[in-house]
Amino acid sequence: MPVFYDQLNREVNLPSVPERIISVVPSQTELLFYLGLNDEVIGITKFCIHPTDKFKSTIKIGGTKQLDVAKIKALQPDLIIANKEENERSQLEELMKYFPVWISDISDLDGALEMIAGVGALVGKHKEALALNNNISLKFKELKLVQLNLRVAYFIWRKPYMVAGKNTFIDDMLQKCGLVNAFEMERYPEIDASLLRETNPGVILLSSEPYPFKEKHITELKAIVPNAVIKLVDGEMFSWYGSRLLDAPAYFNTLISELI
């Protein structure tokens, strides 16, 4: 078998094509099922909600940051697919002592396509992954190339308020929409009402995940920045970097049309 490298440039050795896979990242779980690994995926997290039928029927091994390590060991996987940001390093390091662990590290669309190709090669679905990447690339070429120059705050959490900053996959998706991130800080900074008022974004996008923002939160934020356009958005479209990327460009086109 060839030697594989994950997105942290770690060598991952597999003696054969894996037949018992555990995925601990929702978007990558959905990708594995999209690639046709219906029997091979034996364990997923409680947040791996897509596809619905597989979520209902597949064994749960905890949450993305609170894995049930003992349960994973009992399942004896021959491959675990994880992510640097979404999983806890100490838990992955513990699992590496027993099983091959392939870790993604994604901050833009190119990284997502690289992950899809890498996972496809890893699980014996190279052709299917290549076809998926081609389709995703074609879909993104259909995005309306409108430079809106609107400064946007993308909220992911409340109490405390947290936004998506630079060097994140969400920021890259905002850029693909022709939007400008109002916050220059890296990763996912905490902000308060004072900083939000000072930054004064023209648009505020309230994500459906990880915090489930609702209509009532629009009123809450409108009191801080009364002139901003505030919209609820589907967080999966902005942050799931697997096969769901097929649907993201059409969703973004609708959003762009509403903001023009």
- pTM of the entire structure? 0.94
- C-alpha 140/C-alpha 107 separation (Å) is 16
Task: Report if residue 187 sits inside a domain.
Answer: yes
| pLDDT tens-place string over residues 213-244 | 999 999 999 999 999 999 999 999 999 999 99
Task: Report if residue 146 sits inside a domain.
Answer: no
- Pair (18, 128) in one structural domain: yes
Task: Report if residue 91 sits inside a domain.
Answer: yes
| pLDDT tens-place string over residues 142-154 | 887 777 789 999 9
- Could you tell me the maximum CA-CA distance found in the chain, to the nearest angstrom? 60
pLDDT of residue 90: 97
- Pair (69, 188) in one structural domain: no
pLDDT of residue 145: 73
- C-alpha 11/C-alpha 104 separation (Å) is 13
- C-alpha 18/C-alpha 31 separation (Å) is 16
Task: Report if residue 144 sits inside a domain.
Answer: no
43 neighbors 72 (Cβ within 8 angstroms): yes
- Pair (182, 228) in one structural domain: yes
| pLDDT tens-place string over residues 63-102 | 999 999 999 999 999 999 999 999 999 999 999 999 999 9
- Pair (43, 10) in one structural domain: yes
User: What is the extent of the structural domain holding 39?
Assistant: 4-139
- C-alpha 93/C-alpha 101 separation (Å) is 9
The CATH number assigned to the domain holding 155 equals 3.40.50.1980
pLDDT of residue 72: 98
- Pair (158, 78) in one structural domain: no
- Which of 139, 165, 191 is the C-terminal boundary of a domain? 139
Task: Report if residue 145 sits inside a domain.
Answer: no
| pLDDT tens-place string over residues 17-75 | 999 999 999 999 999 999 999 999 999 999 999 999 999 999 999 999 999 999 999 99
The token duo for 256 is 């762009």
Domain count for the chain: 2
Give Cα separations from 213 to 24, 138, 158, 249 (angstroms).
24, 31, 8, 22
- Pair (34, 69) in one structural domain: yes
- Pair (135, 182) in one structural domain: no
pLDDT of residue 148: 76
- Which of 87, 104, 139 is the C-terminal boundary of a domain? 139
pLDDT of residue 1: 65
24 neighbors 17 (Cβ within 8 angstroms): no
- Pair (123, 156) in one structural domain: no
Closest C-alpha among 46, 66, 72, 68 to residue 58 = 46
Residue 119, φ and ψ in degrees, nearest 5: -65, -40
On the question of pLDDT at 13 being above 70, the answer is yes
Task: Report if residue 45 sits inside a domain.
Answer: yes
Closest C-alpha among 168, 155, 181, 141 to residue 83 = 168
- Pair (212, 243) in one structural domain: yes
pLDDT of residue 234: 98
Task: Report if residue 30 sits inside a domain.
Answer: yes
pLDDT of residue 236: 97
Torsion on CA atoms 71, 69, 28, 185, rounded to nearest 10: 150
112 neighbors 106 (Cβ within 8 angstroms): yes
- Pair (111, 170) in one structural domain: no
- Which of 81, 113, 139 is the C-terminal boundary of a domain? 139
| pLDDT tens-place string over residues 182-219 | 999 999 999 999 999 999 999 999 999 999 999 999 99
- Pair (221, 112) in one structural domain: no
- Pair (133, 155) in one structural domain: no
